[in-house]
Amino acid sequence: MSGQLKVTLLDTPEPACRANPIHLRPASPLCNDCRVSGLCLPTGLPVHDTTCLGTLIGPRLRIRKGAPLFNANDPLSMLYAIRCGSFKTSLNTAEGQGVVINFWMPGDVLGLDAIATEHHVCDAIALEDSEVCPVSYRRLQTLAHDFPVLQQSLNRLMSKEIVREHERVLMLCNLTAEERLASFLVGLSRCFVSRGYSAHGFMLRMSREDMASYLGLRLETVCRSMARLRGLGIVNLRGRLVEILDMQMLLALEHGSGDGERERKAPLKAPC
């Protein structure tokens, strides 16, 4: 396994250093009180069936900020449902430079990239202290025969990721820098709404460098685009705190129809 996996079991002492630091023990899952359980993989199972869920879902794992959940080329053993926190996934180029391909929030399931080859193709890094629920992939396959809705849930998640990748390709091919940033902020807003949070105010957990990598832009370009949106009064950015002031204009800009709607000048450069 490449890299050191720094995880601890929730509410248990940090384990001593070992070759494989993930050590799962049977435990009762807490799907009943999880606020994102409706977005998660086991939606095809009755949450009151603790025996069934207990054999599928291991005890929650805590991943420290900056630590990998898994690395490229690691074998597939688990899928990981994010209970809280956030992650980024990245691919390494031939030159060893990481390229961010996605960001992940509570309710998302990590590890689907490994289903085709049974080895992960990317690195998954925690953007903040996070918790995940490990789902045994082998057990998942077995239960899917008895619970067709569970298989449908897995298919839905994989289809969702395909659609998201298609949308990103379209964004990279067709949108300007400001339109890409607008699309990114609108997408985050929708994700927060689906999880019961405000559509107009949220915190960016990723760095500006990670954002630039995901959007296929230079860091300086992202900073200029942010300054432009701020100068137009569309968004207010204070550090990593985002406040959307004019959602309609942001949506118009996302679809390439926001140019010329306002005549106010925005600064070309401002602190990012």
Catalogue all structural domains in the chain, each as residue range(s) with its CATH number: 7-157 (2.60.120.10), 175-254 (1.10.10.10)
- Indicate whether 82 pLDDT > 90: yes
- Predicted pLDDT of residue 262: 46
- The per-residue pLDDT of the chain, averaged, comes to 81
d(CA 105, CA 88): 9
3-class SS letters over 153-185: HHHHHHHHHHHHHHHHHHHHHHCCHHHHHHHHH
pLDDT number for residue 14:
36
- Is the pTM above the cut of 0.85? no
Mean pLDDT lowest among 9-18, 26-35, 109-118: 9-18
pLDDT tens-digit series, residues 24-62 = 333 344 566 676 666 676 555 655 555 566 667 888 899
Which of the four pLDDT bands, split at 50, 70 and 90, describes residue 261? very low
Spell out the residues 6+ positions from residue 98 whose beta carbon is closer than 8 angstroms to its own.
90, 91, 92, 123, 213
The total number of residues written for the chain in this structure: 272
At 226 the three-state DSSP class reads helix
Q: How many Å apart are CA 183 and CA 175, to the nearest integer?
A: 9
Lowest average pLDDT, out of 148-152, 160-164, 171-175, 245-249, goes to: 148-152
Confidence at residue 212, expressed as pLDDT on a 0 to 100 scale: 97
Residue of 56, 77, 76, 31 lying closest to 147 (CA atoms): 56
The per-residue pLDDT for 10 is: 40
The pLDDT value given to residue 229: 94
Average pLDDT, stretch 219-240? 93
Closest to 134 measured CA to CA, from 174, 215, 211, 77: 77
pLDDT band at residue 230 using 50, 70 and 90 as cut-offs: very high
Write out pLDDT tens, residues 83-93.
Answer: 999 999 999 87
Which comes out higher in pLDDT, residue 42 or 100? 100
Rounded to whole angstroms, the Cα distance separating 268 from 248 reads 23
Higher per-residue confidence, 22 vs 251: 251
